[in-house]
C-alpha cells in the first residue's frame, strides 16, 4: 500500500492542493496525486504493494528536523538528523505524513517491532506532510496521539529530504547502518513480517 507522488511536471494536471503556496513546499506534490494510485487489497496482499531497493554503500544524506517527541534520542529539539548516529546504533528512518492512510496502517507495526529491538536499533519517524500535500503538523501530532506512537518522531524543517531521498511514495523507509551507510530502502507500506526481516538484516550488517 502506497500513497504515490507524481512527477512535479504534472502539477498543471492535478493542481496545487491545500496550502501549496506555503514556503518550502514542493510544487506539484498534492494529496490527490499521492492517493490517486495507491495499492488497495487485503492485508495478506499488502506485501506486494511495497518495493525495495538496496543502495549498498550509499551514505545517508543529512537534513534538519524538529522533534515532536523523543528529543533525548534525537539529541535536541531542532537538530541535524545525523546526530542520532552518535548513539552508535543502526537507524531506521521512516518518512510518513499525518494524512497518509498507508502510514497510519504501518505505524503500529513499527511501534511493535521497535519495542522488541529498541536496545539494538534507533527508529526515527520524520513527517513530510506539509511538503507532499498530506497534512500539516497538527495532523501529524494528532496521528501520533491517536495511534499511541512512542518512538522518536519529528518533522523536516524544509523539503530537503524529499529531494535528497528521491521520495516518490509514502511511506518510505530507509535502513541505515551505525556508520551511516544505506543498506535498504522500502517504498510503500511494510507489514510486520517484512519489518522484522529487514531489521534483522540491518542489525546483521552493522
Successive 10-residue mean pLDDT values, the chain, 206 residues: 51 35 45 43 36 59 98 98 97 98 98 96 98 98 98 98 96 97 96 97 93
Nearest C-alpha neighbor of 172 from the set 137, 124, 133: 124
* Phi-psi sector, 110: left (phi>0), alpha (psi -120 to 50), beta: alpha
Place of cell 528536523: 65
55: exposed, middle or buried (C-beta count within 10 Å: 0-12, 13-18, 19+)?
middle
Round the CA-based radius of gyration of the chain to a whole number and report it. 16
pTM reported for the whole predicted model: 0.79
Q: Where are the domains of the chain?
A: 3-205
What angle do helix axes 101-117 and 192-205 make, rounded to 10 degrees? 50
What top-level class would CATH report for the domain 3-205?
alpha beta
Residue whose C-alpha cell reads 529539539 in the numeric block: 77
Amino acid at each position: 500500500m502506497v500513497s504515490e507522488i507524481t512527477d512535479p511536471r504534472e502539477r498543471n494536471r492535478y493542481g496545487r492542493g491545500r496550502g501549496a503556496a506555503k514556503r518550502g513546499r514542493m510544487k506539484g506534490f498534492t494529496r490527490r496525486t499521492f492517493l490517486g494510485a495507491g495499492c488497495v487489497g487485503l492485508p495478506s496482499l499488502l506485501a506486494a504493494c511495497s518495493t525495495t531497493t538496496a543502495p549498498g554503500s550509499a551514505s545517508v544524506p543529512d537534513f534538519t528536523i524538529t522533534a515532536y517527541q523523543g528529543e533525548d534520542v534525537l539529541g535536541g529539539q531542532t537538530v541535524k538528523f545525523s546526530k542520532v548516529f552518535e548513539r552508535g546504533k543502526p537507524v531506521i528512518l521512516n518518512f510518513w505524513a499525518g494524512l497518509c492512510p498507508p502510514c497510519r496502517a504501518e505505524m503500529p507495526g513499527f511501534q511493535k517491532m521497535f519495542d522488541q529491538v529498541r536496545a539494538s536499533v534507533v527508529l526515527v519517524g520524520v513527517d513530510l506532510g506539509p511538503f507532499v500535500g498530506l497534512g500539516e503538523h497538527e495532523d501529524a501530532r494528532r496521528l501520533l496521539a491517536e495511534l499511541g506512537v512512542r518512538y522518536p518522531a519529528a518533522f523536516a524543517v524544509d523539503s530537503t529530504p524529499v529531494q535528497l531521498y528521491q521520495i516518490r511514495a509514502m511511506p518510505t523507509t530507509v535502513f541505515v547502518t551505525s556508520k551511516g551507510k544505506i543498506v535498504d530502502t522500502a517504498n510503500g507500506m511494510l507489514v510486520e513480517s517484512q519489518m522484522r526481516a529487514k531489521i534483522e538484516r540491518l542489525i546483521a550488517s552493522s
